[in-house]
A and B are shown apart, each in its own frame.
Chain A
Amino acid sequence: MSYTSPPIEKVFPKVESALNGLLRDGMTIMSGGFGLCGNAEACIEAIARSRVRNLTIISNNCGNQGQGLAVLLKNRQVSRVICSFVGGNPDLADLYMKGQVKVELSPQGTFAERIRAGGAGIAGFYTPTGVGTVVADGKEVREIDGKKYLLERPLRADLAIVRAAVGDIDGNLRFYRTARNFNPIMAMAADITVAEVDKLVHRGAIDPDDVHLPGIFVKRVVEVRDHQDVIEHRTTRTLVGRSSTS
Chain B
Amino acid sequence: MSWSRDEMVRRAATEVQPGTIVNLGIGMPTEVANYIPLDGSVTLHSENGLLGMGPYPTENQIDARLINAGKQTVTALPGASIFDSALSFAMIRGGHIDLAILGGLEVACNGDLANWTVPGKLITGMGGAMDLAAGARRVVVLMSHVSKEGNPKLVSQLTLPATALGCANRIITELGVFDTAGDCFICVVRAESVSQVAIERSTGARVLFTTVTAGRG
Which residue of chain A is the closest to B158 with respect to CB atoms? Answer: A132
Contact A108 B85 (CB under 8 A): yes
Does A112 belong to the interface (CB within 8 Å)? yes
Q: How far is the CA of A185 from the CA of B69 in the complex (A)?
A: 18
Contact B93 A96 (CB under 8 A): no
Q: How far is the CA of A178 from the CA of B83 in the complex (A)?
A: 8
Among A34, A87, A236, which residue has its beta carbon within 8 angstroms of that of B85?
A: A34
Contact B164 A131 (CB under 8 A): yes
Contact B161 A134 (CB under 8 A): yes
| Of B121-129, B177-185, B199-207, B208-216, the one with at least 4 CB within 8 A of chain A | B121-129
Contact A239 B73 (CB under 8 A): no
Contact A239 B58 (CB under 8 A): yes
Does A128 belong to the interface (CB within 8 Å)? yes
User: Which of A96, A103, A179 has the largest count of B CB atoms less than 10 A from its CB?
Assistant: A179
CB distance from A98 to the nearest CB of B (A): 12
| Of B48-56, B139-147, B148-156, the one with at least 4 CB within 8 A of chain A | B48-56
A-B contact count (CB 8 A): 186
| Of B14-22, B99-107, B130-138, B168-176, the one with at least 4 CB within 8 A of chain A | B130-138
CB distance from A35 to the nearest CB of B (A): 4
Among B56, B85, B135, B163, which residue has its beta carbon within 8 angstroms of that of A237?
A: B56
Contact A84 B128 (CB under 8 A): yes
Count the B residues whose beta carbon is within 8 Å of the partner chain — how many? 54
Contact B85 A60 (CB under 8 A): yes
* B58: A residues at CB distance < 8 A: 236-239
Which residue of chain B is the closest to A65 with respect to CB atoms? Answer: B71
Does A97 belong to the interface (CB within 8 Å)? yes
Which residues 203-233 in A have Cβ within 8 Å of B in the complex?
Answer: 229-233
CB distance from A176 to the nearest CB of B (A): 6
Contact B82 A180 (CB under 8 A): yes
Assess A178 versus B57: contact at CB under 8 Å? Given A107-B130, A109-B131, A235-B72: no
Q: How far is the CA of A235 from the CA of B82 in the complex (A)?
A: 20
Contact A245 B84 (CB under 8 A): no
* A79: B residues at CB distance < 8 A: none
Contact A232 B71 (CB under 8 A): yes
CB distance from A126 to the nearest CB of B (A): 11
Contact A181 B93 (CB under 8 A): no
Q: How far is the CA of A195 from the CA of B152 in the complex (A)?
A: 50
Which residue of chain B is the closest to A187 with respect to CB atoms? Answer: B84
* B83: A residues at CB distance < 8 A: 180
Q: How far is the CA of A83 from the CA of B69 in the complex (A)?
A: 15
* B164: A residues at CB distance < 8 A: 129-133
Contact A234 B55 (CB under 8 A): no
* B161: A residues at CB distance < 8 A: 133-134
Contact A181 B49 (CB under 8 A): yes
Contact A178 B50 (CB under 8 A): yes
Contact B89 A108 (CB under 8 A): yes
Does A184 belong to the interface (CB within 8 Å)? yes
* B85: A residues at CB distance < 8 A: 34, 60, 108-109, 112, 181-182, 185
Q: How far is the CA of A63 from the CA of B67 in the complex (A)?
A: 16
Does A47 belong to the interface (CB within 8 Å)? no
Q: How far is the CA of A132 from the CA of B131 in the complex (A)?
A: 13
Among B76, B125, B165, which residue has its beta carbon within 8 angstroms of that of A177?
A: B76
Contact B128 A127 (CB under 8 A): no
Chain B residues in contact with chain A, CB under 8 A?
A: 33-34, 46-50, 55-59, 62-74, 76, 82-86, 88-90, 92-93, 112, 122-131, 134-135, 161-165
Sample of 15 further A-B pairs with CB below 8 A, known A110-B130, A112-B89: A34-B48, A83-B125, A103-B123, A107-B126, A108-B127, A109-B89, A112-B85, A129-B130, A129-B131, A129-B164, A132-B164, A176-B65, A180-B82, A231-B67, A232-B71
Report 12 cross-chain contacts, Cβ distance below 8 Å, ordered by A residue: A34-B49, A35-B67, A83-B125, A85-B124, A109-B89, A133-B161, A133-B165, A176-B65, A181-B84, A232-B72, A236-B73, A242-B55
